[in-house]
Chains A and B, each alone.
Chain A
């Protein structure tokens, strides 16, 4: 039996599903092939222990692009994001609480240092303004600086316009964010150590760097670019776990006619004469399509799905040097009741984030362990009790706890094995138990995922949750490699759409959407391509106009429109 499709998407992660949905919406016949038994990639919810649903890897949502929510009508398909509006940092004799209402937060900061309360609202204003200026990048096609087109020039001009709009003072603050360590950056603002630790956490997540490492301030900014219901920088929790987001996108894709096959691992892309023509499954089956899209990370996309010998040497070199070096792990717990945090002043704080980062030194020390190849003996933990927000995730009175942990270096001294993994799990439970002594007695089941497990089970190279570090040297037109940031590859009809491409990791659906728009553009524009190479910008301009009319997409704005609407 021979199957042919317009497009095959390798990997049913949320970005692969997004690309599939957009292509299907534009009328393409699309097939998604997922290796595991369920779609979602690193955004999955699973009942590992009966009756308890874990949000297995990713756990919060903020960066999901609003245009994707609109275009794919995700709310209709089950997107249901609950607000996560408090954060609690237990300390040994005290605590810090960030509340949903600004007045309570202000009073809480005043309790620690009155000056910081004044500074905090200004700090938030600054981050808001900079986020507002920089955010359009998330929805924008990275310019190709090796062969800039008129479009690229326009995009860069627009971006420049946006940055100029920041005003001089804020522009310099942006410069600092691009270069400084998050610790230095927050030091300029605050006195309260625990507040600084809490703010700086967003600078290290998913990164093999400590809060005092330069470059981490940018990662902080990345986390300030999210939005929820029009509120900037707000984070939320998908009902039922982040698998619900993937399922919503999958449901949208199916509603447009896309076909999704699970338990269908792809072994290689079939290339004929520098052109991708199909995929070979591990079971030997071959499926053909005009377009092949990989939602896998750059290493798998280029070096596993293809024979590296057919790729340009410099690309292979760039991909080999692309930094993955996973730094985090995940622990999921089924609990027989609620943990009791000794210093928690109000049980409502159990509905929000609980952050094990009592001081800046604590977090930096956690990194010190990892820097030399050990997992943190006292790690930073981003703790959430999802069943407090969605009671359906655990039996009544019982709970699930999601713990994101840093640091757990992929390159562990002696390597990862089941013994090391459980020792790591112990250190996580111990770290939380320091502040919630009854935790250990409540644990019914424990799932520990080291970076090695993330690689084995979820296909994330070196266990990097972002398909490659989110540092400035690996972003925008450098993600994943110079000249290949626009979702295309040297192999004709073979595209990339994973978090390893712009705008990067997190549940953004940004790469998936932008990749789909480029694929559709190419599909309609092939005829022009030879002309444009010969006849310069006039044809490029025509091509751009043509693409807008030809794409037939009602919803998705082109990157330029997107830019103006932000």
Chain B
């Protein structure tokens, strides 16, 4: 049976829907009310509190901590200063993405890596001969994400440190309601937001303090459904949904390189040797086989399709993650991996992997939709991601 996170007493009390997901062995709320609408709007208009404790967390410490991480991930960890965090994928020897996560430099020789999947063995196996210790602190750290335009104001109520100076992808040691925490300006919503790393015994106190002061800002707990809409708007890929871990799947057709996932910007080919470098160098020269793009499904076309069946336009009421074909000129040129109606953008958006020939913004493609089990193709336009990027995210 899944375990309970350190916040379970609080999340369970709020979870009217009784809709839970198993996330890395823990119960994780899908939605608190029977609809996730309020939770989604909280992320974009007020603030939302998400229990992200099930993330795998590792402390990497020792003289060679930086060397180990630099050997494993594609970003240049040498450039990460104390108090900074990096988003990065990491690859296998064939350059296929295993997972992605963030690296936070807590001290000169101490890093914290978060990951969607258990990564201990991979880190340890690559640490052979290095003066470094990898410690699984997944259970030793509870984690919250406080996301949304009001998140900074809420935090300011219970901390003495000025948060204006905490820039995007930076972190600081501070106290919240007198409890020591690590606060990083990171998140999975593409909005202004923070992640809070707490020792489990203080977890409930921090939750309660945030909820108490958050009341005035309409803070509410949010679950996976609301988060999923937000992360698609932010153009953030989800492992096991938009791509697969190369360690989890068995066939090449199921694997992807960072370039294919639109994560080329995270691959620093000129840095010291890292896993997958040789293949990625070759791919850089020959060009990747796929490009990851955003799609905006054109509403007039979709509406016309529905009209054929005597129906008004129907839009998805939640994010979907079933893989659907994307065509151009009658031939399949890719697949959409997740999509959602974006209430904030008033657009129907999807993340897709297409042939590079069709990746240019403005390209017209067709995405498969079904109306009462009739297979149809809705016109869509290729766009750059993120779909939604408010200034406050970095400001």
Residues of chain B with a CB closer than 8 A to A110's CB: 25, 118
Residues of chain A with a CB closer than 8 A to B124's CB: 115
Interface size on B, residues (CB 8 A): 17
Within residues 103 to 146 of chain A, which ones have a CB less than 8 A from any CB in chain B? 103-104, 106-107, 110, 114-115, 117-119, 121-122, 125, 128-129
Residues of chain B with a CB closer than 8 A to A115's CB: 120-121, 124
Write the nearest CB–CB distance from A232 to chain B, whole angstroms: 11
Nearest 9 pairs of A and B residues by beta carbon: A118-B121, A107-B25, A115-B121, A114-B120, A118-B118, A103-B22, A125-B250, A114-B136, A129-B250
Write the nearest CB–CB distance from A173 to chain B, whole angstroms: 13
Beta-carbon contact of A104 and B1 below 8 Å: yes
A101–B249 alpha-carbon span in the complex (Å): 17
Given A106-B25, A107-B3, A114-B136, check contact A119 B250 (CB 8 Å).
Answer: no
Prevailing SS type, chain A contact patch: helix
Cβ of B312 < 8 Å from any Cβ of A? no
Interface size on A, residues (CB 8 A): 16
Contact code string B1-39 (vs A, CB < 8 Å = 1, else 0): 111000000000000000000101100000000000000
Write the nearest CB–CB distance from A123 to chain B, whole angstroms: 11
Residues of chain B with a CB closer than 8 A to A106's CB: 25, 118
Within residues 248 to 287 of chain B, which ones have a CB less than 8 A from any CB in chain A? 248-250
Cβ of B247 < 8 Å from any Cβ of A? yes
A125–B248 alpha-carbon span in the complex (Å): 7
* Contact sample, A vs B, 17 pairs, CB 8 Å cutoff: A103-B24, A103-B25, A107-B25, A114-B121, A115-B120, A115-B121, A115-B124, A117-B118, A118-B120, A118-B121, A118-B122, A119-B121, A121-B247, A121-B248, A122-B247, A125-B248, A129-B250
Contact residues of B with A, CB < 8 Å?
1-3, 22, 24-25, 118-122, 124, 136, 247-250
Which of A103, A104, A106 lies at the interface centre, i.e. has the most chain B CB atoms within 10 A of its CB? A103
A121–B119 alpha-carbon span in the complex (Å): 12
Residues of chain A with a CB closer than 8 A to B25's CB: 103-104, 106-107, 110
Residues of chain B with a CB closer than 8 A to A104's CB: 1-2, 25
Residues of chain A with a CB closer than 8 A to B120's CB: 114-115, 118
Residues of chain B with a CB closer than 8 A to A117's CB: 118
Contact code string A80-113 (vs B, CB < 8 Å = 1, else 0): 0000000000000000000001011011001000
Residues of chain B with a CB closer than 8 A to A101's CB: 22
A115–B127 alpha-carbon span in the complex (Å): 13
**Nearest A residue (CB) for B23:** A103
Write the nearest CB–CB distance from A45 to chain B, whole angstroms: 34
Beta-carbon contact of A103 and B118 below 8 Å: no
A223–B248 alpha-carbon span in the complex (Å): 22
Residues of chain B with a CB closer than 8 A to A129's CB: 250
Write the nearest CB–CB distance from B120 to chain A, whole angstroms: 5
Residues of chain A with a CB closer than 8 A to B118's CB: 106, 110, 114, 117-118
Write the nearest CB–CB distance from B136 to chain A, whole angstroms: 5
Residues of chain A with a CB closer than 8 A to B24's CB: 103
**Nearest A residue (CB) for B58:** A114
**Nearest A residue (CB) for B120:** A114
